[in-house]
Structure 1
């Protein structure tokens, strides 16, 4: 007995309450449909429909079984969907976006921790900024990512919000490097190096607004996509960089900002899915990534930020 086929017939008749319309919907003749319903009733040992010349009605057992039948058919559809993904080579891979400034040791720790937790899955890592990740998640080109807030996260799932205080990277010989902490206003007159706006527009605008609010209006803003480029500008003595805590490199010194006026807010983000296996894979990635960011990057939990729309126009008053 083809139980899936028979349940499909049962659901069609239950929803149409008319054998003729159900047969037309299924693309079959009415007599074979009636035979399948009768055989299913014999198999289950209950009458599913009350039939008369004028109408068809579900019996009490039929009403009880209808939701179960629908659930079974939905699960069968998922089996076929997973099988199709397997045929296309998509099963076993979590496509993940990571920001370019995450750092090599953190990426390595993330890969190792996820491999330990889910040896059956492979991470397909893609270096990309927050704005592009949000677009790719919405379009289904990515399964999950690590994004910087604020961003337009409507429709996405979000993991725990993590905070990372931002400090300033100074030339080693700068007078401010001798201070244990630096006021943003003390940076007046110095150019600023920051990540490109197109990577995370909301965080970029928020950072420059905080600078202005605390008395620092840099003469020029240089966008550095790669940390080494930012380091070079700082080493040359032409600019300072706003970055999270980092180990001092030769020629530069990192100092915290007084009062922590700037905090990068980061979380995992993912596209929602009805595939239970996919959901479990995303949940495992989020748990692993959150733990690695806390342990390796020194991030700490924050209250969640509400989703917001981020305007993609350039920030006024600053040039890259």
Structure 2
């Protein structure tokens, strides 16, 4: 039995005090209305009306039930209204995650953009690496995420895949000088100098012998392996691959003079280090929003994906990866899979 509907019929009959007028108001046949009221009386075990030649009069039990029925219908209407706002994306909660490496300006723009676009929906944002996001999306404890590709996107829907070239952060040793006849006494050698000209592009092969600071493989196995494979394909065999993602640790290793790290141009570089472009842009960072296909069409998820794309473009310096494919860039990533071909 649809309790709310039956209670609504009961209230209308009580207000009209007549089954015929109540049936006309509700747009139902009078016999059907009488049967519904009788069923409600059987359900509650209470006689609600005295049927008379003039109409229907509430019993004492009916009056007591009416006092409770009206607030119940008000709450039911409020519940329906809330459900409608959630369905339309005007209210609710969206649980989302971003990778640890995402630029702070992008994160700030994402939060403010979502809030402005849907002030009734609360965005619960957390930091998660790719593998953790995939696990939570599959478990249903996460509604949407921002993923760095390549990852296994089976069962997921993706927003626009955005990309930007990665450069390399190296020690900034300043311009090299040659010793002349007036050079002073010899000193102990310091850390190795940064490779190549002080501000020109570098080929990956010029980094050979340097250690590479890279995020732990377990947080993104496919991306980790792809980066190392690209390095080797272009002649860079790292001395040691050092797992690390904390900015202070990465910076310390680079400033030690023995290690390098990959980063986009937009990433802040500390004093004592320099960002250098890589010849031929062999490494691309690819990022997109992702969500379960079962959430396709959800207004809050669609807004999140749109805001992610806008924030990545405006504050992350990224462009749609489809543009690199259309331009025929060698090694352009495939948007559907997120892998490099």
TM range (shorter): 0.5 to 0.7
Deviation string, structure 1 residues 163-197 (Cα, Å, up to 9, x no partner): 11111000010243514100000000000011121
Q: 1:125 to 1:175 in 2, by over 3 A?
A: same
- Is the CA contact (8 Å cut-off) linking 1:169 and 1:243 kept in structure 2? yes
Could you say if the C-alpha distance between residues 177 and 94 of structure 1 is closer, same or farther in structure 2, counting changes exceeding 3 Å?
A: farther
- 1:293 corresponds to which residue? 312
Alpha-carbon shift at residue 132 of structure 1 (Å): 1.0
Q: How many residues align?
A: 235
When normalised by structure 1's length, the TM-score is 0.67
**1:305 maps to which residue?**
335
Contact 2:295-2:301 within 8 A present in 1 as well: no
Partner Cα distance (1:199, 1:115) in 2 = 29
1:102 aligns with 2:102: yes
Q: Secondary structure at the match of 2:119?
A: coil
User: Which residue number in structure 1 is paired with residue 246 of structure 2?
Assistant: 226
State how far apart, in whole Å, the 2-side matches of 1:164 and 1:215 are: 22
SS in structure 1 at match of 2:270: coil
Partner of 2:263: 243
Listed one character per residue, the Cα deviations across residues 85-130 of structure 1 (whole Å, up to 9, x for unaligned) are x9xxxx6211111100113222112111111111111111111111
Equivalent residues of 1:170, 1:177 under 8 A apart: no
Partner Cα distance (2:255, 2:139) in 1:
41
Shift of 1:199: 1.7
| Contact 2:157–2:296 (CA under 8 A) maintained in structure 1 | no
Find 1:190's aligned residue among 206, 210, 213: 210
Please give the alpha-carbon distance, in whole angstroms, between the structure 1 residues aligned to 2:145 and 2:162: 14
1:255-301 per-residue CA deviation (whole Å, 9 max, x = no partner) reads 1100010001111001233696xx00000011011100111011110
How far is the alpha carbon of 1:150 from its aligned partner?
A: 1.2
Q: State the partner residue of 2:329.
A: none
The residue aligned with 1:263 is 284
| Contact 1:101-1:226 within 8 A present in 2 as well | no
User: Does the C-alpha gap of structure 1 residues 188 and 275 become closer, same or farther in structure 2, counting only changes over 3 Å?
Assistant: closer
Gaps of 5+ in 1: 7-35, 41-78, 310-320
1:253 partnered with 2:283:
no
Displacement of 1:247 in angstroms is 3.5
Distance 1:95 1:177, change over 3 A: farther
Is the partner of 2:196 in helix, strand or coil?
A: helix
Query: Residues of 2 paired with 1:155 and 1:5: CA distance?
Result: 39
Distance across 1 between alignment mates of 2:248 and 2:218: 19
For 1:212, the equivalent position in structure 2 comes to 232
Aligned equivalents of 2:295, 2:171: Cα separation in 1:
51
Indicate if the aligned counterparts of 1:167 and 1:255 stay in contact, CA closer than 8 A.
Answer: yes
Residues of 2 paired with 1:156 and 1:283: CA distance?
14
Matches within 5 A, 1:59-98: 92-98=92-98
Identify if the C-alpha distance between structure 1 residues 95 and 261 changes in structure 2 by more than 3 Å, giving closer, same or farther.
Answer: same
**Cα distance in structure 2, aligned partners of 1:274 and 1:180:** 47
Check whether the contact 2:169–2:261 (CA below 8 A) recurs between aligned residues.
Answer: yes
* Residue pair 1:92, 1:122 contacting (<8 A) in 2 also: yes
Q: Contact 2:145/2:290 (CA < 8 Å) preserved in 1?
A: yes
- Map of 2:111 onto structure 1: 111
Matches within 5 A, 1:140-151: 140-151=140-151
Deviation at 1:200, TM superposition (A): 1.5
Report the structure number with the largest CA radius of gyration. 2
Give the 3 Å change call, closer, same or farther, for CA 177–297 of structure 1 in structure 2.
farther
